[in-house]
Every structure is written in C-alpha cells, then in structure tokens.
Structure 1
Amino acid sequence: MKKQITQLVDDLDGTVLEHGGTTIRFSLEGRSYEIDLSSDNADKFRRAMAPFIAAGRATAGRTTSGVRRPSRNASGELAAIRSWAQSHGFTVGDRGRISAEVRDAYERAH
C-alpha cells in the first residue's frame, strides 16, 4: 500500500500548518503573488500592509486576458462592512474610505 501525505507549510517560517492557516493573494507593481501563512504570520502581514492599503485606492481587478472582473466592493460589500462596523462599535462614515483596521476586523469576523 502506498500513502501520500500533503502538508501545508508556512512560506515565511517553514512551520507545518497543522490547523489550517491561510493563503493570502496580493499584487505589487503588476505582479500577483500568493503566500501560505499561519494565522499569526497572516495577522503580521495584514498589520504591515494596513497603512499602505488605507492610503491607497482600490481598483477593479483584471485578469491576464485583460477582461475586467467586478471589484470586491461592487456587490454591496462596502454597505455590509459599514453596517457591521457601526453595529460593533467602530466609527465609520456613511461614505468614503473604510480603514484597513475595520476591513480586517470584518474579515476576521466572517
């Protein structure tokens, strides 16, 4: 009998992810990346990126074929984030940018 075992490994520190972990996809200067991280390292990544994301502008994604994909927020996700944030004690305006801190909290809750 032959048994094949596949392990997910944290790409940053090499630890075996026994209880899941997460794959984070991101883009920088026109190149797309994905990285498998433990929950702790994923949190570190999100905290490190938060000030840059907060200062940046969201853009609609594109595939390599150039066909435009709908943005994540096109489906009313912004309204859902605002509603959730306001009901959970975050200060969020009815319009404008939503901070990375609020977005991260929303993502963790869902």
Structure 2
Amino acid sequence: MATRISKELVDDTDGTTGDVTTVPFSIRDERFEIDLSPANEARLRADLQPWINQARKPTKPRKRRGKYKYTGASTNDPAAVRKWALEHGLSVSTTGRLPSAIIASYNAAATTTTLQPPQ
C-alpha cells in the first residue's frame, strides 16, 4: 500500500489555494513569513512601497580576519627534518609543508640522544 502526502499552501489573508508562495519579511530584527497569492503579494508590496522608497539598505559589516595562528608543529630546519625522515625510512616530499607528525617526532627525538621515527 502506498501513502501519498501532499502539502498545499493556503493564502493567509483570504484562504485561496493554488499559486501561493511563502513571502518572508522582517521588522526590527523580527522575521516573519506569510503565505500569499500573487495578487496579495502585490498588495503587500504596494502597501510597503512608500516606506521602501524612503528607506535605505543596511551596509554589511566588514568581516574581520583573525590573526594567523599556526598551531601545528614547527621547525627551523626543514632540510634536517627531511634528511632525518629519509634516514629512518619515512616518505617525505622534497618540497612543501612537512607533515606535523614527522616534525613532532623529529623535535621529540632531537631532545633525546637518538632520533626515532614516528610510530
């Protein structure tokens, strides 16, 4: 057995159905929606038009970019990290950013007497 559910919009002002759409609008940061036929939407727009003619569109606030904060592992000598990684059988590219796990392992190993590859 099949079930068919349909949704029909009804004009909120006069109860008509058919070519009805939801019209959003807002006043003082309150948002509203009303379902209107094309004729009633035109009436709403005509009623608001004198106010729209005197109004201005708000400017969008500029988005500020936060300060760049790199949270990954770092090293002052990427060539040494690459050399160490290759000596320990790890795959690293010859250019570009080093994987943070390899840098972290290198930094941890550099504080001990023997350098160990990452697990």
TM-score normalised to structure 2 length: 0.45
Q: Report which structure shows greater RCO (CA 8 Å, sep ≥6).
A: 1
Instruction: From the CA coordinates, give the structure whose radius of gyration is larger.
Output: 2
> Would you tell me which structure has more helix in proportion to its own residues?
1
